[in-house]
Amino acid sequence: MAQAQAEGLELSIDGDWSEQYIGGEWAGSESGETIDVEDPSTRETVAQVPSSTETDVDAAYEAAAEAQESWAEAPPAQRQEVLSNVVHLLEAHEDEIVELLGHEAGGSAIMGGTSVHLATDQASEASTLPRRMKGEHAESNIPGKENIVVKEPQGVVTVISPWNFPLNLSMRAVAPAIAAGNSVVLKPATNTPIVGGLLLAKLFEEAGLPGGVLNVVTGRGSEIGDRVASHPESDVVAFTGSTPVGRRVAGLAAENLAVPAMELGGNNAHIVTADADVGQAIDAATFGSFVHQGQVCISINRHVVHEDVYDEYVEKLTERAESLPVGSAHDPETVVGPIIDESQRDQMLEYVEETIDAGATLETGGETVDVEGVDDSLVVKPTVLSDVTNDMSAACFEHFGPIAPVIPFSDVDEAVEIANDTEYGLSGSVHAGDLGTGREIADRMDTGMVHVNDQPINDEAHVPFSGTNASGLGGYNTTDFLDEVTETKWISVQHEPREYPF
């Protein structure tokens, strides 16, 4: 891929995003209708994308099915080259993509840079997969028989991605699916159809991916979501989003016996014991609760703090929350920017109000912050709630906002009980002073991921990412998602005549 080509790729929010990508061609929707894309900071329409229809969805799956067989036969080196080119494009266009994330997802510069880094890591890891799809031989109980087990692509992979981290949460499914020889139909979230979908189409097209291997439809979930999730051409459905929606998507996928790969909700606990370094625990807590406005499935949803250090913890966390720069995502100093839309904002503020009504104390926040030139601001002030119990709304629900409910405990058994008292099991963190004690607590937490002396927001493409209980099915990263998008095939070869009983 020539450097000149990479430099010529147009990725500005002011570019033309009015066409979807099906069969290697850019075109409007079958209906001709469009969807407005709103900047959460300014509340202004900044782009329009196609309002895809079920006819468009059918065309996307037809193109994917047609392209998949030849792509599966492509040499590993060719598939690896495409993914390596995507890595180079992400690196070359980082600044433009960060700006896109600011306009569409309300992401601060910190969030945008992290998103590009994660997507680059995922594409880089995926580029190694074509050469790692190795089979094996197994001894046979039958004389003269050779057993061979091979990995083959599943076929057509459906990817339904969320709005909170749209770039990397699309890339972590799209890249390994394509690397393994599958074709993909990608349906990004309605709030973030550009960075979660059309951007990837442009990157993979520029990287040399044959037409039809990746297809992107940008319709509303309420109009095409069921058709995407239940399409008979789909062999795997990879979904990231809320547990209620995930249950429906998994059910629709199961009707066609498609493999469901579900990364769903979380209610992650940050346990701080009496022996913890409170300063370090607060540093971790501030990032883990407030980065990207708390709109992270693995963010801290509950701070579970020993009563001996509880008052100090609440005081320091409140001070840090009040010190964070808040406002428009387009201000380079902003740490806490806008919530994605008013429905999400209103829901989280309702949780705060219900929690206060139930007896909690509002230490700071609990309201929106005015943004110059914006009538109805989506920026929510970083919020700290004390005297919280596990059954209060801000603690028992995944609030998905810049909200820090702090729950006291008296001993480690109680802390673990509080942490595990949820239907979810995605991530968590522990600060216990002593590493051995921290590890013991981590072992007792019923989650797919736990981080000692850290906070729950961690993601590395070469390490498994998965949850337990209502937090999902299957796993992402490393070879875990490769197992989801491939199937094993047993081939036996009888080299000598076999004797049969009749």
Count how many Cα atoms sit within 13 Å of the Cα of residue 479 in the half-sphere of its side chain. 8
Same domain, 281 and 395: yes
Among 264, 290, 314, give the residue marking a domain's end: 264
Among 436, 452, 468, give the residue marking a domain's end: 452
Give the model's pLDDT for residue 1.
44
Domain annotation covers residue 475: no
Same domain, 380 and 306: yes
Alpha-carbon gap, residue 134 to 149, rounded angstroms: 9
Give the domain range for residue 260. 11-264
DSSP structure string for 227-274: HHHT-TT-SEEEEES-HHHHHHHHHHHHHTTPEEEEE----EEEEE-T
Whether residue 177 is predicted with pLDDT greater than 80 in this model: the reply is: yes
Same domain, 78 and 197: yes
pLDDT digits (tens, 9 = 90+) for 414-465: 999 999 999 999 999 999 999 999 999 999 999 999 999 999 999 999 999 9
φ, ψ for residue 392, nearest 5 deg = -80, 155
Whether residue 6 is predicted with pLDDT greater than 60 in this model: the reply is: no
Query: What share of the chain has pLDDT > 90, as a percent?
Result: 97
Whether residue 331 is predicted with pLDDT greater than 60 in this model: the reply is: yes
Domain annotation covers residue 61: yes
Marked catalytic residue, from 99, 297, 363, 398: 297
Question: Tokens in use for 398?
Answer: 């995944």
Output the average pLDDT for the chain.
96
Residues in CB range of 416: below 8 A, 6 or more apart: 271, 441, 444, 445
Same domain, 75 and 211: yes
Total domains present in the chain? 2
Whether residue 107 is predicted with pLDDT greater than 70 in this model: the reply is: yes
Give the model's pLDDT for residue 134.
87
Marked catalytic residue, from 104, 125, 206, 263: 263
Domain annotation covers residue 473: no
Same domain, 245 and 353: no
- Does residue 263 carry a catalytic annotation? yes
Q: Quote the pTM value.
A: 0.95
Least confident piece of the model among 277-291, 396-410, 464-478: 464-478
Domain annotation covers residue 149: yes
Mean pLDDT of 265-279: 98
Give the model's pLDDT for residue 120.
98
Same domain, 252 and 278: no
Same domain, 312 and 183: no
- Matching residue, tokens 């720069």: 325
Whether residue 3 is predicted with pLDDT greater than 60 in this model: the reply is: no
Among 231, 264, 297, give the residue marking a domain's end: 264
CATH code for the domain in which residue 56 is found: 3.40.605.10
Alpha-carbon gap, residue 478 to 36, rounded angstroms: 36
Whether residue 106 is predicted with pLDDT greater than 50 in this model: the reply is: yes
Same domain, 229 and 342: no
**C-alpha distances in angstroms, 168 versus 138, 199, 299, 307?**
38, 11, 16, 38
Domain annotation covers residue 5: no
**C-alpha distances in angstroms, 95 versus 100, 124, 366?**
9, 19, 33
Same domain, 103 and 157: yes
- Does residue 19 carry a catalytic annotation? no
**pLDDT: is 133 or 229 the higher one?**
229
Domain annotation covers residue 2: no
**Number of other residues whose CB lies within 10 A of the CB of residue 34:** 16
Give the model's pLDDT for residue 10.
87
CATH code for the domain in which residue 383 is found: 3.40.309.10
**pLDDT: is 9 or 336 the higher one?**
336
Which amino acid, residue 142?
I
Same domain, 179 and 272: no
